[in-house]
Structure 1
Amino acid sequence: MADRASNELPVLIVGSGNTGLALAQGLRKAGIQCTVFEKEALQARERDWNMGLHWGAPVLKSLMPDESWARIQSIQVDSHVPTKDEDTLSFVQGDTGETMVAFTFGPFYRLRRSKLRDLLAQELDIQYNKRLSDITYADDRRSVTAHFDDGTSATGRMLVGADGARSTTRQCLLGPDHGAINRIPYAATFVQRQFSTEQALFLRKFHPLFLASAHPGNHFAFFGMQDAADLDNPSSWTFFFYISWPSSLDEQDATADWTDAQRLAQQKEFAKTFCDPWKSAYEWTPDDAPVWYMGLTDWDPGLDGHRWDNHGGLVTMVGDAVHPMTYQRGQGLNHSVTDAGKLRDAIIKIREGGVQKDIITAFEEEMIARGGGEVRDGTANTMLLHDWEKVQQSPFFTKGMKKNE
């Protein structure tokens, strides 16, 4: 009776990012009750960006309802550009625009983060304004309870931390030191901007979706679409671009209070030695335009001291909560939805009578090996992309978007 009672409890998912929502949809599809808890308010406005989905696409499709996956084209940065079976990405030299390498892969989806979240949130039980503060476990090890800052709690058969790179779940499991995000000496400032029709058409001619470059000044840069809802009105298109650079932790701390204007002025100075589209895009961006800045971070689940106790399979983590990685090779979303798919499969095995501790531990070991390897590869990639003498050794240059084997 105790096993039956615990199996009737929901799976508790902490975090309503794309990973947590994809997992919740997969569980819903499998007939497994779950509840998602989100620390922000329902109408909270977060920064939006776009993400590459490629080798992880079949897993995401398996998690989503068929009618939702049928809408995947509508949530791309430009829904009017059909997803190709194969597409070619050119990696250019930042000062000359010459192609350094080009690789073909596909299918490749460039998805708006906000639109993917909205699509994945459909028909789910999501509770907002629920900030996790503690996790406790029943004495009989058959249930787990999430405690929230507002004094409420929820009990389930399992708790899954899908609460992002600065995961509270991870800190609950490992403490503030081992669970803290790791800062690395690189930074980027991001711009999202609309331009005149003539300017927009000029900027977009370099690639309809995105372009990447390495610069001899030890900079990496990205330029692409963020939103092209109105095909016939280029002045309504939003472009998304940034230049990243080596930045010591001391520099990051010293500039922590910089204004948007200071951040943008720094980017504009970098861009003076870049080719188009970066050169013109920054010149045409007003000095008072809003931007956002980010020091790069990672967290390697394979490091000593980073293996958490899953308390008999009652608690685990997925996505950026367990393997936050740098973004220059576009692997994060693919690994995160793979986590969600594999955990969905694991929970189904438990429902069918498998031993929860053994199944969840096996799930975690595969995820730690796969995701941890990508974290290390991603950080090495970031370092090499910002070192002109070694850029051709970078995984981005040698592997493109291919999955690590």
Structure 2
Amino acid sequence: MVAQGGKAAGFHVLIIGAGSVGLLLAQRLKVLDIPCTVYEREVHLNARGRNWNFGIYWAQAPLAECLPQPVQDAISKAQVKPHAKIDEGATMPILNAETGEVLMRAPTPNVLRLNRARLREVLAQAIDVKYGKRLKSVEKGDDGKGVIATFEDGTTASGNLLVGADGAKSRVRQALLGAERGGLQTLPLMGLRALGTLPAKIALELKNRINADLVVTVHPVGLVAFIAVHDIPDENRPETWVWLFHLTYPYDANRESLTDAIEIRKIWDDFSHKLASPLQDAFLSAAERSTLLTDRLGDWPTVTWDNWGGSVTLAGDAAHPMTYHRGQGLNNAVHDAAYLGRALNSVCYEDKPLEEAIDVYEKEVVERGYAAVVSSTENSMMMVDWEKLKQSPLFKYGLKQGSRA
């Protein structure tokens, strides 16, 4: 389909999911003047309340490629420390959780550490998002052309291309591959996390002794504990600072997930007592002041899928859900948005057939995604094994793209 009058006339993209990658792609298409609509299951943005933060380590250029200048200028507001200056010499310390000894400092030059909820608010600016739209099914359009999405509220939407940006448990992915081949694979790892404030004394001690926006600690018992700055509402009142706390440990993949609050609290406290000061006090205090949530870790080593002649594709966690201990997920998702934008630009403004453009996009995403998923899982498993820790991708390659130095 060729654009008419400088616009992608008659072409429409359906994006399922208003997460980071879905909104980022929508911003890119807005810049390209390619019509799109985002469909989000939440009744309003950030309705579910679950929030975390993440880092842009090596995807700064494709991030900028996707954004119009006003949104690009507003990204600083989404940082965990709003308007913090970019630091070319930034590092992420990795400590022995038992002793506090620094094991290494992973370089994170020019890192952008972002609050997910605030990032979504920035990226949703001037985007057509339909809320309360939980996907029910995806079907080929009339005469096999285009695609039709049906939602659980009975409404439908049709377009030339549907992009599944609906997360690790993607319904779009399962529609293309079936529940068994397209389902998330459970890993023998459990995560526990909390988000909240600390007493001023503990918050100041963390700042003064660790002095990093994110610190990762690893314990010989097979535990990864990290703590990250999440928000600084008032620089002069440490009791208002918000922190993200996370524990990861081995867990039987065949066992049911944790649901009992008393058991979850006991596990949290038992592990917290094994941490060196000031982390021990911080984690114990977090449990007193915050809700403890579980993260059952899983992955899906990316494989090719039938894109129905270029009318359905995947991006972000829907295409390559991975573990988070090397921070590769968001960076790969940003690349997806930029690459898919380039593909659709070639369709709408360079007369490239849609199927051909999507095939080219997917070839790169599948190869890159598979490598990132496998490497991330390998890294996470090695980080809860003290004997293998220093052979892990994080220790060998840091937070760089891929598994090579």
Query: CA offset at residue 362 of structure 1?
Result: 1.2
Task: Say which SS state the counterpart of residue 206 (structure 2) adopts.
Answer: helix
Contact 2:8 2:34 in 1 (8 A): no
2:196 corresponds to = 193
Query: CA offset at residue 106 of structure 1?
Result: 1.2
Contact 2:197 2:289 in 1 (8 A): no
Q: CA offsets per residue over residues 61-90 of structure 1, 9 Å max, x none?
A: 111111111122221111253221220222
User: Partners of 2:193 and 2:380 in 1: how far apart?
Assistant: 17
User: Partners of 2:9 and 2:315 in 1: how far apart?
Assistant: 21
Which of 215, 229, 232 does residue 233 from structure 2 map onto?
Answer: 229
Query: CA offset at residue 275 of structure 1?
Result: 1.1
Contact 2:258 2:294 in 1 (8 A): no
Which structure 2 residues correspond to residues 31-180 of structure 1 after superposition, within 5 A? 31-42=33-44, 44-79=47-82, 81-180=84-183
Query: CA offset at residue 371 of structure 1?
Result: 0.9
1:10 corresponds to = 12
User: Partners of 1:10 and 1:151 in 2: how far apart?
Assistant: 21
The amino acid across from 2:161 in the alignment is M
Q: CA offsets per residue over residues 154-177 of structure 1, 9 Å max, x none?
A: 111110000000001011111111
1:350 corresponds to = 347
Which of 372, 375, 381 does residue 373 from structure 2 map onto?
Answer: 375
Contact 1:7 1:157 in 2 (8 A): no
2:300 corresponds to = 299
1:315 corresponds to = 312
Query: CA offset at residue 282 of structure 1?
Result: 2.3
Query: CA offset at residue 27 of structure 1?
Result: 0.2
Query: CA offset at residue 287 of structure 1?
Result: 4.0
Relative to structure 1, the CA distance from residue 263 to residue 75 in structure 2 (aligned partners, 3 Å threshold; closer, same or farther) is: same
User: Partners of 1:195 and 1:257 in 2: how far apart?
Assistant: 25
Which of 24, 27, 31 does residue 25 from structure 1 map onto?
Answer: 27
User: Partners of 1:159 and 1:80 in 2: how far apart?
Assistant: 35
User: Partners of 1:285 and 1:360 in 2: how far apart?
Assistant: 46
User: Partners of 1:77 and 1:289 in 2: how far apart?
Assistant: 19
The amino acid across from 2:336 in the alignment is D
Task: Say which SS state the counterpart of residue 265 (structure 2) adopts.
Answer: helix
Contact 2:194 2:293 in 1 (8 A): yes
Comparing 270-279 with 224-233, greater Cα deviation is found at 270-279
Which of 329, 336, 339 does residue 339 from structure 1 map onto?
Answer: 336
Comparing 40-49 with 378-387, greater Cα deviation is found at 40-49
Query: CA offset at residue 52 of structure 1?
Result: 0.7
2:403 is the alignment partner of 1:400: no
The amino acid across from 1:273 in the alignment is K
User: Partners of 1:20 and 1:77 in 2: how far apart?
Assistant: 21
The amino acid across from 1:34 in the alignment is C
What is the Cα-based RMSD across aligned positions, in Å?
1.9
User: Partners of 1:286 and 1:354 in 2: how far apart?
Assistant: 55
User: Partners of 2:336 and 2:286 in 1: how far apart?
Assistant: 39
Relative to structure 1, the CA distance from residue 232 to residue 348 in structure 2 (aligned partners, 3 Å threshold; closer, same or farther) is: same
Contact 1:186 1:248 in 2 (8 A): yes
Task: Say which SS state the counterpart of residue 249 (structure 1) adopts.
Answer: coil
Q: CA offsets per residue over residues 312-359 of structure 1, 9 Å max, x none?
A: 101100000010000000011100010010000000101121021111
1:249 corresponds to = 253
User: Partners of 1:285 and 1:89 in 2: how far apart?
Assistant: 22
Count residues in correspondence. Answer: 398
User: Partners of 1:250 and 1:173 in 2: how far apart?
Assistant: 26
Task: Say which SS state the counterpart of residue 225 (structure 2) adopts.
Answer: strand
2:332 is the alignment partner of 1:328: no
The amino acid across from 1:169 in the alignment is V
1:275 corresponds to = 276
The amino acid across from 2:341 in the alignment is R
Task: Say which SS state the counterpart of residue 187 (structure 2) adopts.
Answer: strand
User: Partners of 2:277 and 2:396 in 1: how far apart?
Assistant: 24
Contact 2:2 2:351 in 1 (8 A): no
Misfit runs of 4+, over 2 Å: 1-7, 138-142, 282-289
Contact 1:265 1:287 in 2 (8 A): no
Q: CA offsets per residue over residues 188-222 of structure 1, 9 Å max, x none?
A: 11011212222210122212311001111111111
Comparing 222-231 with 137-146, greater Cα deviation is found at 137-146
2:260 corresponds to = 258
Contact 1:17 1:162 in 2 (8 A): yes
User: Partners of 2:283 and 2:8 in 1: how far apart?
Assistant: 57
Contact 2:93 2:102 in 1 (8 A): yes
Relative to structure 1, the CA distance from residue 370 to residue 8 in structure 2 (aligned partners, 3 Å threshold; closer, same or farther) is: same
1:388 corresponds to = 386
Contact 2:347 2:354 in 1 (8 A): yes
Contact 2:54 2:113 in 1 (8 A): yes
The amino acid across from 1:292 in the alignment is L
In the superposition, the TM-score normalised over structure 1's length comes to 0.94
In the superposition, the TM-score normalised over structure 2's length comes to 0.94
